[in-house]
Amino acid sequence: EDWQERGATVAVRQEIDANGKTVSRYIKKGVRDFSFGHVLGEGSYSTVVLATDRQTLNEYAIKILDKRHIIKEKKVKYVNIEKDTLNRLTDHLGIVRLYYTFQDERSLYFVLDYCKGGELLGVLKRMSTFDEECTRFYGAQILDTIDYMHRRGVIHRDLKPENILLDSQMHTKITDFGTAKILKTQKRPEDGSNGVLPIDSLDISQDDRANSFVGTAEYVSPELLTDKNACKASDLWAFGCIVFQLLAGRPPFKASNDFLTFQKIVGLDYEFPTGFPSVARDLVERLLVLDPARRLPIEHIKNHEFFDGIAWGRSLWKQKAPRLK
């Protein structure tokens, strides 16, 4: 199996050879290079554990997957999607970075950025709602990251506050790319920027299972429910749901079961709570649009009045996060 080899990151280690000479060796990191701490999170197919690199003392979150379970449940493809996607998205502060992958007899390991602040959902629950300033800041960081992902030909397809982590500076990092879709070819973006990237031989966008994937009920786009097809605009639907949720304290479409939630989504059946800021309401109404082709494109979202005062691009990531209130 070539899983171990592709995209492997190596570490340099200084060693003394038989002649007493110091030589640099490239050595792949492995389980023994880390000391493992407490469990950070658990999913259906993985456990994320805090770990420290024994040499550098850097902290990481290591996602551990049980190989037998992955194979038995036919999730090998998704594990590869996650790895390939993360290896494609290494150049942005808003994405959880993958440093190393390795395996032992029993498990696969993904060595990822440790996000000390935990999930955005947890922070939101503690605060119950965010004010406009916080929503603008976190919303801007999330949107800037979606923009980067889309330019690199990746649709996340399961954006939600559980998949948005916060680092020690309270900056957002998007995680969980196991259900992402890598687009094979891309049209030049309307803004004429150099978003064109020939995507190499990965054959996963052809996969029926990947295409028929349904994310988390509350954030699923109507086109996924009606046409079983997700596109870049599907991530912007989820973004609209998240902006609504940060200000309202609950997602716009929520019912007692998934089926009823889906009915609300395809019927655009949601209401703003009283006191919801009107400029934010206008933005959400332009995102929660049933026809994905008529949803506000990223460049227009950035220019929407709600994001007035945001300096897009690199400086967004140098900014101090507003105090939560």
* Contact by Cβ (8 Å): 186, 227: no
Beta bridge partners of 52: 35, 59
State yes or no: is 207 an active-site residue: no
User: What's the longest Cα–Cα distance across the chain?
Assistant: 77
Which of 239, 91, 227 is CA-nearest to residue 155? Answer: 239
The distance of closest approach from Cβ of residue 41 to ligand ADE in the complex, given in angstroms and rounded to an integer, is 4
The distance of closest approach from Cβ of residue 320 to ligand ADE in the complex, given in angstroms and rounded to an integer, is 21
Q: Which is nearer to ligand ADE, 118 or 313 (CB)?
A: 118
Residue 165 interacts with ligand ADE (CB under 6 A): yes or no: yes
Write down the catalytic residue from 84, 144, 158, 176. Answer: 158
Place of tokens 């609504």: 244
Could you say which of 34, 40, 142, 239 contacts ligand ADE (CB under 6 A)? 40
Q: Which is nearer to ligand ADE, 99 or 312 (CB)?
A: 99
Could you say which of 7, 41, 249, 322 contacts ligand ADE (CB under 6 A)? 41
Tell me how crowded residue 248 is: count the other CB atoms within 10 A of its CB. 19
Specify the DSSP element, H or E, that contains 191.
Answer: none
Of residues 275-304, those binding ligand ADE (CB under 6 A) = none
| Rounded distance between C-alpha atoms, residue 14 and residue 122, angstroms | 42
Stretches 113-121, 197-205, 215-223, 227-235: which one binds ligand ADE (CB under 6 A)?
Answer: 113-121
Q: Look at residue 25 and give its three-state secondary structure.
A: strand
Phi and psi dihedrals of 42, rounded to 5? -130, 130
The distance of closest approach from Cβ of residue 92 to ligand ADE in the complex, given in angstroms and rounded to an integer, is 15
Q: What's the DSSP call for residue 110?
A: E
Q: Tell how many helices (H) and how many strands (E) occur in the chain.
A: 10, 12
Give the CA radius of gyration of the chain. 21
| Rounded distance between C-alpha atoms, residue 252 and residue 160, angstroms | 12
Specify the DSSP element, H or E, that contains 317.
Answer: none
Residue 115 interacts with ligand ADE (CB under 6 A): yes or no: yes
Could you say which of 51, 95, 111, 112 contacts ligand ADE (CB under 6 A)? 112
Q: Which is nearer to ligand ADE, 47 or 186 (CB)?
A: 47
Residue 160 marked ligand-binding: no
Residue 158 interacts with ligand ADE (CB under 6 A): yes or no: no
Q: What's the DSSP call for residue 95?
A: B
Number of residues that bind ligand ADE (CB under 6 A): 12
Could you say which of 49, 51, 61, 146 contacts ligand ADE (CB under 6 A)? 61
Could you say which of 29, 33, 34, 48 contacts ligand ADE (CB under 6 A)? 48
Q: Which is nearer to ligand ADE, 48 or 247 (CB)?
A: 48
Q: Which is nearer to ligand ADE, 115 or 170 (CB)?
A: 115
Q: Which is nearer to ligand ADE, 141 or 261 (CB)?
A: 141
- Chain centroid to Cα 225, Å, comes to 21
Q: What's the DSSP call for residue 21?
A: -
Stretches 110-118, 199-207, 241-249, 280-288: which one binds ligand ADE (CB under 6 A)?
Answer: 110-118
Tell me how crowded residue 70 is: count the other CB atoms within 10 A of its CB. 18
* Contact by Cβ (8 Å): 37, 51: yes
Of residues 67-96, those binding ligand ADE (CB under 6 A) = 96
Output the known binding site for ATP.
Answer: 63
The residues that are catalytic are 158
Query: Residues interacting with ligand ADE, by CB under 6 A?
Result: 40-41, 48, 61, 96, 112-115, 118, 165, 175
